[in-house]
């Protein structure tokens, strides 16, 4: 699937192996389509939490 560059930006991010395992666990527990979706949800959740504090 191509990325719509007018609406999205690709970012290369390096994670520690332990964090990748936590993301993988979240991905599978929540039955998400892929790891990218898991990361997007986790970031959105963190941003939402920061805004509410």
Is residue 29 assigned to a domain? yes
Establish if 2 belongs to a structural domain: no
Query: Which of 5, 6, 12, 2 lies closest to 39, judged by CA?
Result: 12
Question: What confidence category does residue 3 fall into, taking pLDDT thresholds of 50, 70 and 90?
Answer: confident
CA distance 28 to 32: 7
What is the domain range of residue 36? Answer: 17-52
Residue 26 lies in a domain: yes
Mean pLDDT calculated for residue range 13-36: 97
Q: Are 52 and 45 in contact (CB under 8 A)?
A: no
pTM (predicted TM-score): 0.84
| Residue 48 lies inside a defined structural domain of this protein | yes
pLDDT of the residue at 1: 65
3-state secondary structure 4-39: CCCCCCCCCCCCCHHHHHHHHHHHHHCCCCCHHHHH
Total domains present in the chain: 1
46 neighbors 39 (Cβ within 8 angstroms): no
Residue 8 inside a domain? The answer is no
């Amino acid at each position: 699937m191509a990325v719509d560059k007018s609406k999205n930006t690709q970012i290369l991010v390096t994670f520690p192996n332990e964090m990748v395992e936590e993301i993988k666990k979240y991905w599978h527990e929540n039955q998400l389509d892929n790891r990218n979706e898991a990361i997007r949800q986790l970031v959105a959740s963190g941003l939402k939490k920061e805004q509410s504090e």
